[in-house]
Amino acid sequence: MTAAFEKTFVVWVPVERAWKAMTDPAELNKWYFPVTRSEDGSTKTEILGGERKTEVVEFEAGRMFRTRTTLTGREGWGIVPGTREMTVVFEAIESGTRITITNSGFGETEDLSGVERGQEETIADLILYLETGVAFPRHHHGERSWIGFSGRELRAGLEIVSVQGNTFADRLGMRNGDLLVELGGASVFGFAEVQFFTKEHGPGETATAAWIRDGRLMRGTAELGSRIPVEQRAAS
């Protein structure tokens, strides 16, 4: 069994315009991430330095498309290997288009909070582009530093799931199960605050953090670094 989630939203442009924005690489390069189309019809998308290959497995022009992406885990720290499918359905409504996106292929125990938040931000970038004509991608753009962990959002804060070696989180001594509550003196409730922090602070800067472990408040200071490819081991 696999897990899935669905997002439905309305954008106030005709179906033809919404379709083009989500299928034409030239359009995607404006508001999404760098996308190139291969000779076999598949697309390659560069996200935070990692490349993802996607193939179209079902296609009805102007109505729907379904894609399949195989992840190896090397695309980024915390990426769970597996095959993901995304189905996008377009429906004409009065003065606009209703779009439903279904993402499937996730493990039953896989935390989807970060994935869902990421898709919400991507949808916001798409709506901004279509309804204002201005391309200003915000989701995962402008990252300067890398904290070095994967996590999941809880009501109490951001729980650390895994820590990548030789990163800011590792130098702090953070470990699985810790609950991150502060970065650089600013409160942390989820991924949004972490992403804002990494855009504001660059490698080589020293920053503070606070986290909860076994009922105790922990504090530390360490140096920030750049994102490390999963297959590459940073020099000590």
Q: Go through the domains of the chain in sequence order and give each one's CATH number.
A: 2-132 (3.30.530.20), 149-223 (2.30.42.10)
**Mean pLDDT in the chain?**
89
- Tens digits of residue pLDDT in 83-114: 999 999 999 999 999 999 999 998 877 778 77
Q: Which of 180, 158, 144, 171 is nearest to 48 (CA)?
A: 144
pLDDT band at 232 (very low <50, low <70, confident <90, very high): very low
- Tens digits of residue pLDDT in 141-173: 778 899 999 898 899 999 999 999 999 999 999
Q: How far is CA 161 from CA 8, 67, 88, 179, in A?
A: 29, 28, 30, 10
SS3 150: strand
Instruction: Check if the beta carbon of residue 193 is closer than 8 Å to that of residue 169.
Output: no
Percent of the chain with pLDDT over 90: 65
- Among the ranges 32-41, 72-81, 139-148, 203-212, which has the highest mean pLDDT value? 203-212
Q: What is the structure's pLDDT at 111?
A: 75
Whether 78 has a pLDDT exceeding 80, the answer reads: no
Whether 184 has a pLDDT exceeding 80, the answer reads: yes
Q: Which residues pair with 51 in a beta bridge?
A: 46
Q: What is the mean pLDDT of residues 23-44?
A: 86
Whether 36 has a pLDDT exceeding 80, the answer reads: yes
pLDDT band at 231 (very low <50, low <70, confident <90, very high): low
Matching residue, tokens 């922090």: 197
Whether 77 has a pLDDT exceeding 80, the answer reads: no
Q: What is the structure's pLDDT at 160?
A: 95
Q: What is the structure's pLDDT at 41?
A: 73
DSSP assignment of 3-48 equals EEEEEEEEESS-HHHHHHHHH-HHHHHHHSS-EEE-TTS-EEEEET
Region of 75 please: left (phi>0), alpha (psi -120 to 50) or beta. alpha
Q: Within 10 Å of residue 2's Cβ, how many Cβ atoms? A: 13
Q: What is the structure's pLDDT at 233?
A: 41
Q: Within 10 Å of residue 227's Cβ, how many Cβ atoms? A: 20
Q: Which of 65, 225, 79 is nearest to 54 (CA)?
A: 65
Q: What is the mean pLDDT of residues 61-88?
A: 87
Q: How far is CA 204 from CA 167, 174, 222, 226, in A?
A: 11, 19, 10, 9
